[in-house]
């Protein structure tokens, strides 16, 4: 088990002579895993001429300084609150040491890779190269194989260990794709979500229910969640957003998830007629597409855009489509095999001078399928976004404390370290301490939805901002509860929650019910976007990284969820209770209360 605080990532500059003798230099293992995660099996050696796009992460020696900026500009009680950094400032704080650049450049050149063949990130902390498998194996002293995933049928080219010349070890954090088997799937509850179109959502409920804000909510919202339902439930019916104050909402799409524009317009006609005819900005990253044929429509992408942009209209919206997992067919020798969507997305957004103030993502995977080094670097990228004033939300996952490969009541969850220890399986990036993670609720009055992902990271230690709240929760557990199944001092999640079932989404021209924390994250993010709108209207800065605010005072403006649990791994999981809990966090938004609170801050 490897828990770290990203405060003070180690960097040791290795002094080198002007000429580094890479040829013949002894290699030393840089990273290895016990074997492929459960569900993956080795198929055959990778063809030597198959092209790999390798991303090389270089150390960020000033990250500790950047993190200190993040804490200060995100803490409402600090004099620097809201003084977010610029792109140029964060680039300077994440740039590698010049000596690192020199040594890595010389190593690449020794393998025939000249500067013009390299792709560098904005801060020069990532270098991307395209090389055939044969050359990658020579550079990394390894052997690549084709691995197949039994359940999905996917094939990828990976290795379980790679090495570098010893002189490079302090100058390279990681190289991928090598040991990473994460699929970064969309968070959709397979217990509720059919891949085929279902009958239209119809509700026969009449009358009203008293919501948590004391206002009346249509009773039909217990069986079909609409934009109107969410605005009623979360107390924002009276608020109208602006299209002219610079506020923007960003939504991400991966794995070939396309947002169908005809479905979006049909959704607007049904749920927000004022938005009918409006559009969003489409941004393609790493070859990401947005195929507009009905057959290519993605339920996840439709859900995100319909509810995210529908709730916040007329706030301008951006939909990022990131390529990174082409349908690799080992027999057809597909030209390039990657599967690193988050690093490609981060590369792009961090290179932009202006960003949406609020961004939601509904994708992730078991933390243990993501190499520790990769997880820490992607998480560090999220810290950069926070320092720049972006509120980043992620879904908490849809399988309680487990991984969703079996009935949660009987599912057995194992570690992937060769020991096959029974343990809960946290999700990533939900477990990153620099994002706001959103769990799920259901019904009115709200309770925790049973698939709401939650728990404790095995990679990241609990950040200071949640020490009091999480300690109070753990103190309520009976002694010995789930002892050994989770890491009690790990980063705990989720932070907040929102509705996660019965969302009425238009898909291929039909209205279907959708469930999952894929619903929760864009929903909560939409209300955060409205809060940013309110602050910008009075000349204040956007909220940026939310968690220091949420854990210090923001929780007082949330609806506490005190019933429900998140079963998995053959257990009942954790329970929702008064205060923070690892099922629903601090609860769901009360927009008017939150607005009053954020407008009272600097």
Binding residues for Ca(2+): 560-561, 579, 581
Binding residue numbers: 560-561, 579, 581
Is residue 300 part of the annotated active site? The answer reads yes
Q: How far apart are CA 207 and CA 189, in angstroms?
A: 29
Helix/strand/coil for 602: coil
Residue that has been written with the tokens 């990022």 in this structure: 320
CA angle 123, 129, 131 (to 5 degrees): 175
Residue at token pair 């002094």 = 15
Stated length of the chain: 602
Q: SS3 for 534? A: helix
- Residue linked to tokens 């966090």: 585
Give the residue from 517, 582, 567 showing the smallest Cα distance to 408: 567
3-state SS, one letter per residue, for 335-354: CEECCCHHHHHHHHHHCCCC
Cβ-proximal residues to 78 (8 Å cutoff; 6+ apart), any chain: 71, 72
- Tokens coding 562: 């005190």
Alpha helices in 198-323, H assignment, sequence order:
227-233, 261-271, 299-312
Residue 23 CB-density burial (10 A; 0-12 exposed, 13-18 middle, 19+ buried): exposed
* 3-state DSSP helix/strand/coil % of the chain, to nearest 5: 30, 25, 50
CA angle 341, 127, 340 (to 5 degrees): 15
Choose the catalytic residue: 155, 236, 518, 529: 518
Return d(Cα 264, Cα 278) in angstroms, integer.
Answer: 10
Q: Is 75 exposed, middle or buried (0-12, 13-18, 19+ CB in 10 A)?
A: middle
DSSP secondary structure letters along 229-261? HHHHHTT-TT----SSSS--EEEEEETT-B--H
Containing 387, the helix (H) or strand (E) segment is: helix 372-387
Active site residue 552: no
Residue 521 exposure: Cα atoms within 13 Å on the Cβ side: 37
> Active-site residue among 31, 263, 300, 337?
300
Contact present, 392 and 444 (Cβ < 8 Å): no
Joined tokens for residue 341: 């969507």
Catalytic residue among 304, 337, 340, 366: 304
Please give the Cα distance from 454 to 582 (Å, whole number): 5
**Residues acting as catalytic residues:** 300, 304, 518
């Amino acid at each position: 088990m490897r828990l770290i605080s990203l405060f003070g990532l180690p960097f040791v500059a290795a002094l080198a002579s002007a000429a580094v003798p890479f040829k013949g230099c002894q290699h030393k293992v840089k990273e290895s895993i016990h074997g492929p995660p459960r569900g993956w099996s080795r198929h055959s050696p990778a063809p030597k001429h198959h092209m790999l796009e390798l991303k090389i992460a270089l150390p960020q020696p000033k990250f500790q300084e950047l993190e200190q900026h993040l804490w200060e500009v995100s803490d409402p009680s600090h004099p620097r609150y809201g003084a977010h950094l610029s792109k140029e400032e964060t680039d300077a704080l994440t740039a590698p040491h010049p000596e690192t650049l020199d040594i890595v450049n010389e190593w690449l050149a020794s393998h025939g890779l000249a500067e013009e063949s390299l792709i560098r990130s904005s801060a020069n902390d990532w270098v991307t190269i395209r090389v055939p498998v044969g050359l990658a194996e020579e550079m990394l002293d390894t052997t690549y194989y084709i691995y197949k995933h039994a359940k999905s049928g996917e094939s990828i080219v990976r290795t379980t260990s790679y090495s570098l010349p010893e002189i490079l070890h302090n100058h390279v954090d990681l190289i991928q794709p090598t040991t990473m088997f994460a699929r970064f799937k969309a968070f959709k509850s397979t217990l509720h979500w059919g891949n085929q179109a279902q009958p239209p959502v119809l509700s026969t409920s009449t009358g009203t229910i008293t919501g948590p804000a004391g206002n009346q909510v249509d009773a039909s919202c217990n069986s079909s969640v609409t934009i109107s339902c969410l605005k009623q439930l979360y107390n924002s019916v009276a608020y109208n957003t602006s299209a002219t104050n610079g506020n923007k909402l960003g939504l991400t799409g991966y794995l070939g998830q396309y947002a169908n524009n005809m479905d979006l317009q049909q959704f607007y006609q049904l749920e927000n007629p004022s938005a009918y005819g409006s559009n969003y900005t489409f941004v393609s990253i790493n070859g990401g597409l947005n195929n507009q044929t009905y057959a290519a429509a993605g339920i996840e992408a439709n859900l995100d855009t319909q509810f995210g942009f529908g709730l916040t209209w007329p706030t301008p919206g951006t939909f990022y489509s990131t390529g990174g997992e082409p349908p690799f067919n080992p027999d057809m020798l597909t030209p390039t095999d990657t599967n690193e969507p988050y690093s490609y997305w981060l590369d792009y957004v961090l290179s932009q001078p202006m960003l949406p103030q609020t961004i939601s993502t509904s994708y992730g995977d078991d933390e243990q399928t993501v190499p520790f080094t990769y997880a820490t670097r992607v998480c560090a990228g999220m810290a950069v976004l926070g320092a720049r004033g972006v509120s980043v939300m992620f879904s908490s996952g849809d399988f309680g404390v487990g991984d969703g490969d079996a009935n949660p009541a009987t599912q057995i969850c194992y570690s992937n370290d060769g020991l096959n220890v029974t343990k809960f399986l946290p999700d990533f990036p939900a477990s990153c301490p620099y994002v706001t993670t959103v769990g799920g609720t259901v019904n009115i009055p709200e309770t925790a939805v049973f698939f709401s992902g939650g728990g404790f990271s095995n990679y990241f230690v609990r950040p200071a901002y949640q020490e009091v709240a999480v300690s109070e929760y753990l103190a309520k557990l009976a002694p010995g509860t789930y002892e050994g199944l989770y890491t009690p001092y790990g980063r705990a999640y989720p932070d907040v929650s929102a509705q996660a079932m019965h969302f009425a989404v238009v898909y291929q021209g039909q209205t279907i019910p959708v469930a999952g924390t894929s619903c929760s994250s864009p929903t909560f993010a939409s209300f955060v976007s409205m809060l940013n709108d309110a602050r910008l209207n009075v000349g204040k800065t956007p909220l940026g990284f939310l968690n220091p605010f949420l854990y210090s005072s923001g929780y007082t403006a949330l609806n506490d969820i005190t019933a429900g649990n998140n079963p998995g791994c053959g257990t009942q999981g954790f329970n929702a209770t008064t205060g923070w809990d690892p099922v629903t966090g601090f609860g769901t938004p009360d927009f008017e209360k939150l607005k009053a609170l954020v407008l009272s801050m600097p």
